[in-house]
Amino acid sequence: MSAVTPEIIRCAACGANNRVRPEQAGQAVCGRCKSPLAAPARPALVTDGNFHSVVEQSPLPVLLDLWADWCGPCRMVAPVIEQLAAELAGRVRVGKLNVDQNPATAARFGVQSIPTLLILKGGREAGRIVGAQPKGEILRQLQAVL
């Protein structure tokens, strides 16, 4: 198993740099001043191994993009997922899961086509978007579930 590289998040309150493991993002506090640290503004890498800590234990709802390298529509949706991660930081956690490398999670949710976007609350599916959809439609469905 490979080691998870911590991310450096700068505290907005005191400026201190903090090492935060991906599964802690969104719930971490500054080591110096104890202020909440802003969630990263990019999608979290989700795997079969870290699904529990990153998704199920997230205090925020999660928008999870299930994709594969060979999937053209997945590549079309990728920039939208990046934008949503930045725009929704602190309100919704955005993650990406490669289904070829992580088949157990894809099977657990019965994913049969990609891209599939799962909207999860407490690790449970609250919504599903199948196929490449425009950003506005993804936001509309996300808001309807939240």
Closest CA to 4 of 46, 59, 57: 46
Residues 136, 137, 140, 145: is their CA dihedral positive or negative?
A: negative
Residues 39, 50, 84, 144: is their CA dihedral positive or negative?
A: negative
Catalytic residue among 11, 14, 30, 74: 74
- Cα distances from 5 to residues 23, 142, 143, in angstroms, run 11, 30, 32
Identify whether 11 is a catalytic site residue: no
For residues 84 and 88, give the distance between their C-alpha atoms in angstroms, rounded to a whole number.
6
Helix residue ranges per DSSP H, 39-134: 51, 72-87, 103-108
Identify whether 14 is a catalytic site residue: no
Catalytic residue among 11, 30, 33, 71: 71
Name the residues annotated as catalytic: 71, 74
